[in-house]
Amino acid sequence: MITCKVLGPLEVYSDNTGDKVDIKGNKNRALLVYLARSPRLSRGREHLTGLLWGDKPEEKARHSLREAARVLRKQLGESVLDSDSDQIRVYEDQVSLDVEEFEELVAAGDWEGAAAIAAGEFLEGLSIKGAWAFEEWLTIERAFWRGKCTKVLSNRCEELLAAGRNTEAIEMAMRALALDSGSGTAVRAAMKSLSLAGERAQALAQYETFTERLSEVGAKPDEKTVDLANRVKQERAWQLPAAVEKDKDKGAASRRTPLIGRGDDLASLVECLGSCRDEGQANVCLIEGDSGTGKTRLVDELSARARLSSATVAMFRSVACDIDLPGTGLLGLARSGLECGAGLATASPTSLGAFAAEIPEWADRFGAPKGKLQPLEVAIVDVIRAIAAEQPVVLLVDDAQWCDQLTLQALAALLRDLDSSPLFVGLSFAPQPPREELDDLKSRVGRDLAGATIRLGPLDAAALRELTAWALPEYTREESDRLARRVASDSAGLPMLAVELLHAVALGMNLEDTAGAWPRPLRTLSQTLPGDLPEAIVGAIRVGFRRLTKDAQTVLAAAAVLESPVTIELLSRGSGLTDGKLHGALDELEWQRWLTADARGYSFIARIVCEVVARDMITGGQRQRILDAASENL
């Protein structure tokens, strides 16, 4: 039996030996594949001579057909091809094409397996001059399989994006575009994967190229593609210093790591988001884990995907002081995305006024509040209902263990009152301090609330090996495994600390010169002081700090001294930087995942990193100068 790979350049293999069979002559190759794709695997001689030798006299054409059949029997075996005076056929159990397996995988929804087969154009590179009938058939076949392969590659791209594998998703999308540069599905996959990788400019460049290509034939992009382009335009345009821009794709040197070990968790969140959007049902997802396990990263990844999926997204990060300030979380969500909701203006004046009374931007848009106003916890239901009537609403709260009680209760009420609306609520939190409101939601997920609960723990050995291999690809397998074991010991498998170590090693730090394992028994990262961390971890944070540009170091020092969240105005005063320099430094710190931002200002992603910077990288005099500068004109 032989197997023919026809998606891409033709390759023929003998199943008996596993060897590749080199079939000489394009017409011989064409005859084999054409017969294998024919009804009942058979064609009449007259039909075949007209297909491949239509430019020859009848007798010469029939001779050429006989000679082609002889060559195929000689190369493939007598049992592969059969003929009589009228027809030539291939035996069903002797010839298989990769498109048959491809169709089976597509029917099963196995996009990964199908994408592995979609290696290129149908019979790529094959052309027979003068065989017009065959060329017409080939054109139709190529169009058919091009469409199927483009869809498969785009679906596989979506799977990879859902698992946080952005780099592989970009590669898959580019394969789809290479097959069909005029496919809206393929260009959307490319735009989405590039945007999620932080390459907004490249994503928009793909859209511009696509638009120009369509205009050449008098066509325009479809509505879905235009909508995605508009959403990409609203994404963050990073203004990175030249040194950071140059190194941003150089592995661990950039601290911009792939989402390793958390792909299944992100896929679960994306699945719930899709269910909310497609079924119009409220969903809640809870992400629980100790500090340093990657909760904020998951929330950020989910937020980015939601923004590109035609949803109104509002994200808020709680800090410790919020727990005693009723309604802080609701106001934070209102300032962090709800004001952009398409249907917001249809909410009642009393509900809009409740937020306008607290938020100047809302007052500017809807006017000063008048008369008796709704309580915030009542007004939020009306506001979300109005927006959800137009598009899905995604509410995300990071570090929800610090969120005020009124907000948590209001979110639970939203899930109850708008259970038949496309509302998604995502909450990430640490187990300490314990919160009754979060425990209540956990007990209801899967019972009377649709959604999922995700518990994040340390990265396992396999994930740490994968992360180490990515960070230091020049290492041998033995060296990489040895480093992964050391990272596991020093970081306790916490992603944040593992990344700090690998970043430092990539920049030249030698772990053999440091000692100490972590954590101490029964102590989490949130309960740990800088002095409790292993020397390797503290050293890694110092290495990362010194790697920053001078402006970024200055801003990070100010952020470590001032109380989080720090407004951009306070950071400007505390650092002495303004305009372009300040914005470039903040973009660098966000890109390198030192800081995160919401409507209220900037915070360290990890408290322990803030404390190391404040203790080890700032002098007493520098601290006082920052405080004095920040307090001026207050």
- pLDDT tens for 344-373 read 999 999 999 999 999 999 999 988 887 788
* pLDDT reading at 243 higher than 80: no
Per-residue pLDDT, 513: 66
What pLDDT was estimated at residue 325? 95
Q: Residue 166, Cα to own-chain centre: how many angstroms? A: 5
pLDDT in tens, 244-281: 777 666 667 777 889 999 999 999 999 999 999 999 99
pLDDT at 428 over 50: yes
What's the one-letter identity of residue 44? G
> Where does 84-175 show beta strands of DSSP type E?
87-90, 95-97
pLDDT at 522 over 50: no
Contact 330, 411 (CB under 8 A): no
* CA pseudo-torsion sign 521, 525, 526, 529: positive
Q: What does the block give as tokens for 158? A: 């979506």
Rounded distance between C-alpha atoms, residue 396 and residue 353, angstroms: 23
pTM to 2 decimal places: 0.88
Q: Counting every residue, how long is the chain?
A: 634
Per residue in 367-409, pLDDT (tens digit) is 888 778 899 999 999 999 999 999 999 999 999 999 999 999 9
Structure tokens at 50: 């007209």
- Beta strand ranges found along 103-158 (DSSP E): none
E strands of 290-392, at which residues?
Answer: 312-317
- Over residues 79-87, the mean pLDDT reads 86
Task: Provide mean pLDDT across the span 68-75.
Answer: 90
Q: Measure Cα distances from 461 to 445, 492, 494, 508, 633 in Å.
A: 30, 11, 11, 23, 53
Contact 257, 499 (CB under 8 A): yes
What local confidence, expressed as pLDDT, does residue 77 receive?
85
Six-digit token pair at 550?
């001078």
What percent of the chain has a predicted confidence (pLDDT) above 90?
77
Over residues 427-445, the mean pLDDT reads 95
Asked if 402 and 607 touch (Cβ cutoff 8 Å), the reply is no
8 A C-beta contact, residue 531 and residue 558:
no
- Biggest CA–CA distance in the chain, Å, is 101
Q: Is it the case that residue 521 has pLDDT exceeding 50?
A: no
Cβ atoms < 10 Å from Cβ of 301: 23
State the virtual CA torsion across 144, 150, 152, 157 in degrees, nearest 10: 180
pLDDT of res. 53: 93
Q: Over the stretch 292-321, which tens digit does the pLDDT of each residue have?
A: 999 999 999 999 999 999 899 999 999 999
Mean pLDDT of the chain: 91
Under the phi-then-psi rule, with left for phi > 0, alpha for psi from -120 to 50, and beta for the rest, what region is 8?
left
Give CA separation, 209 vs 177, 269, 358, 450, 581, in Å: 11, 33, 45, 41, 33
Residues 6+ positions from 534 with CB-CB distance below 8 Å: 490, 514, 515, 516, 517, 518
Separation CA 311–CA 377 (nearest Å): 22
Quick one: average pLDDT of 435-441?
96
DSSP for 524-539, please give it.
-GGG--GGGS-HHHHH
Convert the pLDDT of each residue in 48-57 to its tens digit.
999 999 889 9
